[in-house]
Amino acid sequence: MGKLFAAAVTVIALVSAGVFISHTWWLPPDLSVLGIKIDDQIFETMIFTGTLFVAAQLALAAFVLQSSGRTGEIKLFPGGPMPMVVLATVIVGLEVLSLVFVGTKVWAKIFLAPAEANAVHIDVQAGQFAFYFRYPGPDGKFGVPHPEKIDEGNSNFFGLDPKNDTAARDDIVSASLVVPVNQPILLTMHSKDVGHSLFIPEMRLQQDFVPGLIIPVHFTATGLTKTEVVCTQLCGLGHYNMRAYVQVLSKEDYAKWLTDQASQ
Amino acid sequence: MHMKIAASVAMCALATMALVPSTHHSAGGTVAGKVTYTGTAPKMKQIDMAKEPSCAKQHATPVMNESVVAGEGNTLGDVVVYISAGGAPSAVPSTPVTFEQKGCQYLPHVLPMQAGQQLEIKNDDQTSHNIHPMSQVNPEWNKSQPPGAPPIQTTYAKPEFIPVKCNVHPWMHGYFAVLNTSHSTVSGSNGTYSLSGLPPGKYTVTAWQERFGTQSQEVTIAGSETAKLDFSLKATEY
């Protein structure tokens, strides 16, 4: 029985590790400038935790095998159970803390750094259950949003006031996120109602929307693609349905798209 | 015994009389005309429903916002025209009105009905809708309707113009026009309307548009003639 258990533990540990090593279920190819840092960090974390996981499982199998069929007194950890628990807590604590410190460094480098000065600014609003993206239009200025003026029936998703606010008249509102390739993009994220999250796997970009806050994030797409942005924060009944297309266009196609939208 | 028969006959007669108003559309006078607007109508925005592919593929041409249906010659469609005063109270029609959710749009965009009339709401789409009529006078509710779910049956007791939205698809928008009368219609895309079956009398006819408000005019029907009555609403660009 002990031998069977040891064999099962070994097989499960190695197969699980194999699935990760072979990238059977993995993120889609990275199409962003900073994504490589996130990927490196994920890789580092996987190596670190994966090695410990396999080592722990193999050690468990080895001990079970060694003790299999034996009778008599069980050997205790030197000093008894208390030092064992303390030591285990310290070791696991150090592991978790070091992962947090190393990981936060990478995260901060990306998320706390300001966007480049030439970044294209796009305003993003999340609401149950759709994303809307706003571009400043030909005048280069965003209209001021007024939450009380939000009128979805009249396609006024951002609560703009075109009657009194001339900057709002040419704002372009799109249900898809359309961006130019190789150009830094600054998204200012805000929520109309509850907490949501913006996740674009190809851009290695994931950030929560927090009602009441305007949260800036930035990225640069490096390849032409049509992919999805999905909400990854349970936000209600239609959460499963909250998504939008992300289109990365060449600079020329992007300029053409903007002109088309502005003329509508 | 004779009294009982007499009573039954009287009941039958009463019942027949009660049925008379519901057949009023077959005879009587007609009010017809055109609804137009003055000023500049707002530009309608295109609706992007790409996130719901099962709906998007049902539309061969771009779907436009329907809050103002302006046509050539400043005509105005989707305007509710109804008798707001005059004449005998109309009986509640026994046939239900139907509101459909199809291609992630409401069909029709504006649905007139009489208070107390049966309202049937259907989902023809392969996606879930959550219909939310934002009534203020009548009790407010919102109900989820997955694909293949049976129609929602309901009624509204009090007259009210109720904006309707879908809690899943923010672009979906329509109106229930709950009225005190069964004499109501919606102008076509060329702005024309016709209200028939009006018994002789003096009426106030009102036109209602969700963004441009209402306009009322009086008309007198003597027999089976058609009275011409045009409406002109003042457009607001924003």
Same domain, A200 and A74: no
Smallest CA–CA distance, residue B145 to chain A, in Å, is: 12
Q: Say yes or no: B65 contacts chain A, CB-CB below 8 A.
A: yes
CATH number where A243 lies: 2.60.40.420
Residue A129 has pLDDT above 80, yes or no: yes
Same domain, A100 and A125: no
pLDDT tens per residue, range B149-207: 999 999 999 999 999 999 899 999 999 999 999 999 999 999 999 999 999 999 999 99
Predicted complex: ipTM over 0.85: no
Residue recorded with tokens 């790409």: B50
Counts for chain A of helices (H) and strands (E), in that order: 5, 10
User: If phi over 0 gives left and psi between -120 and 50 gives alpha, with beta otherwise, what is residue B220?
Assistant: beta
Domain boundary among A111, A144, A159: A111
Judged by CB atoms closer than 8 Å, whether chains meet at A153 and B127 is answered as: no
Please name the residues in contact with B189: beta carbons below 8 A apart, sequence gap of 6 or more.
B69, B71, B75, B77
Cis (ω within 30 of 0) for the bond into A129? yes
DSSP string, A191-234: ESSS-EEEEEGGGTEEEEE-TT--EEEEEEB-S-EEEEEE--S-
Same domain, A134 and A244: yes
Q: Which of A127, A162, A176 lies closest to B170 in CB terms?
A: A127
- Give A102's pLDDT tier (boundaries 50, 70, 90): confident
Same domain, A79 and A125: no
Same domain, A153 and A219: yes
Q: Residue B52's CB: how many other CB atoms inside 10 A?
A: 20
Same domain, A58 and A125: no
Same domain, A95 and A126: no
Could you state, in order of their start, the residue ranges of all structural domains in chain B?
26-234
Domain boundary among A58, A93, A111: A111
Per-residue confidence (pLDDT) for residue B9, from 0 to 100: 46
Q: What is the third-level CATH fold of B26-234? A: Immunoglobulin-like (2.60.40)
Q: Residue B35's CB: how many other CB atoms inside 10 A?
A: 28
CA distance A247 to A223: 10
Q: Which among B161, B168, B169 is the top mutation candidate for probing chain A, defined by the most A β-carbons within 10 Å of its own β-carbon?
A: B168
Burial of B202 (0-12, 13-18, 19+ CB in 10 A): exposed
CA distance A155 to B66: 10
Judged by CB atoms closer than 8 Å, whether chains meet at B168 and A245 is answered as: no
Which residues form the domain of A67? 2-111
Residues of chain B found within 8 Å of residue A239, distances taken between Cβ atoms: none
CA distance B175 to B132: 11
pLDDT tens per residue, range A228-263: 999 999 999 889 989 999 999 999 999 999 999 988
